[in-house]
Amino acid sequence: MINEILKKGEFEKNDIIELLSLTDKDDLEKLYSAAYEEKLKHSGKFVYFRGIVEFSNICSKNCFYCGIRKSNKGTERYFLKMDEILDAANFAYEQGYGSVVLQSGEREDEVFTDFVEEAVKEIKKIGGGALGITLSVGEQSEEIYKKWFDAGAHRYLLRVETTNRKLYKKLHPPDHSFERRVECLKIMKKLGYQVGTGVMIGLPGQTLEDLANDVLFFKETGVHMIGMGPYIPHHDTPLSDSIPDFENAKELQLELGLKMIAVVRLVLKNANIASTTALQALSGTGRELGLKAGANIIMPNLTDTKYRESYQLYDNKPCLNENAGMCRGCLEMRIRSIGEEIGYNQWGDSLKFKAERESLSNN
């Protein structure tokens, strides 16, 4: 059965649901290795790094699942100084990471949007524009997205979290809008960003059909990058008890996360897919498993150790006591251990984005 589906090359919704329902170890191995082979075709044995700076946990929103939501009084709030961000970006440059991601809670006020613009401009000066810059700071107006693009940001990550509208409503307060998120993705695409989106996997109430719809949504919207990871409850949120006995559910949650990576690789083929930290929160080798299931991007944490404790979107986030240097050594060893190489000093742009650009200029 699995062999027949994998042979197809193009997958319909039912095929995707079949693949996501696999449980037999041999079948899972076949799925992961087919996805890994697909990844090899596009980006070879390379894994690209995006050093992530979680520069602020101040957020104006209240997503029910997130540890840094506005109403969580148990988290100490912080906002990095420009120098601290530039130190992290310089470290990324010196280490040959190629790209950085600036991530934070969502704010639309001018103090914030001006600060981000300034940060992008300053990072662009490092090594004469050597670093690729991804932003992941939520929903904004077209004007702001344009400002940041003109300042030098060229990729943006905005997850839609789930494409099941009913589920989206259950996970967010009434003024949080799925439609606005999709609209934002369209605007970014129009402006010329490489656009990334994603979902949380294994949300309470989410079905395999929902996940299959998510994958088809990624394909239809033509996004270039995917960053998705397992949902992990945070103790200080309204959804803290949403998965009873989470300790025992971890293994299945990880497996579902890996199956999604593999399926997305098989369906989107040449997109950039991140092996996210949430995988590692579920298993010490979660991120390596993600790479073996078809992901090609890793986001080493550059956030200063003293702030890491306060940027916990979910419980048990790994590496809270480590610093950026330790993360580099550890990751290098992990990646080599599975026979992959790091694409140092390269932006590692989405091949899907490049192919799209080439076909536009040929027409």
Kindly list the residues in this chain that would bind ligand SF4 in the complex (CB under 6 A).
59, 61, 63, 66, 68-69, 105-106, 138, 313
Tell me whether residue 106 or residue 255 sits nearer to ligand SF4 (CB atom). Answer: 106
Question: By CB under 6 A, is residue 78 in contact with ligand SAH?
Answer: no
In angstroms, give the least distance from the CB of 68 to ligand SAH: 8
Smaller CB distance to ligand SF4: residue 16 or 68? 68
User: Which of these, 164, 155, 237, lies nearest to 201 by C-alpha position?
Assistant: 164
Contacts of 4 (CB under 8 A, 6+ apart): none
Is 158 a binding residue for ligand SAH by CB under 6 A? The answer is yes
Q: At closest approach, how far in Å is the CB of 172 from ligand SF4?
A: 8
345: left (phi over 0), alpha (psi -120 to 50) or beta: left
In terms of C-beta density within 10 A (0-12 exposed, 13-18 middle, 19 or more buried), how is residue 347 classed? middle
Query: Choosing among ligand SAH, ligand SF4, none, which partner's interface includes residue 100 (Cβ < 5 to 8 Å by kind)?
Result: none
Which residues have a Cβ under 8 Å from the Cβ of 33 and sit 6 or more positions away?
none
Using CB distances below 5 to 8 A depending on partner kind, what does residue 234 bind out of ligand SAH, ligand SF4, none?
A: ligand SAH
How far is Cα 180 from Cα 182, in angstroms, rounded to an integer?
Answer: 5
The answer to whether residue 278 forms part of the interface with ligand SAH (CB under 6 A) is: yes
Which one of 105, 290, 300, 348 is in contact with ligand SAH (CB under 6 A)? Answer: 105
Angle between helices 110-125 and 82-94 (to 10 degrees): 30
159 lies in the site for ligand SAH, by CB under 6 A: yes
Nearer to ligand SAH, 278 or 289 (CB): 278
The answer to the question of residue 113 lying near ligand SAH (CB under 6 A) is no
C-alpha dihedral sign at 115, 118, 122, 123: positive
How near is the Cβ of 160 to ligand SAH at its closest, in Å?
9
Output the smallest distance, CB 178 to ligand SF4, in A. Answer: 13
Instruction: Choose which of 200, 267, 271, 302 interacts with ligand SAH (CB under 6 A).
Output: 200
* Two structure tokens written together for 133: 């810059």
- Residue 69: contacted member of ligand SF4, ligand SAH, none (CB under 5 to 8 Å, by partner type): ligand SF4
Q: How many CA within 13 A on the CB side of residue 249?
A: 16
Q: Which phi and psi angles does 74 have, rounded to 5°?
A: -85, 0
158 three-class SS: coil
Footprint of ligand SAH on this chain (CB under 6 A)? Answer: 65-66, 103, 105-106, 136, 138, 158-159, 161, 200, 229, 231-232, 234, 278, 313-314
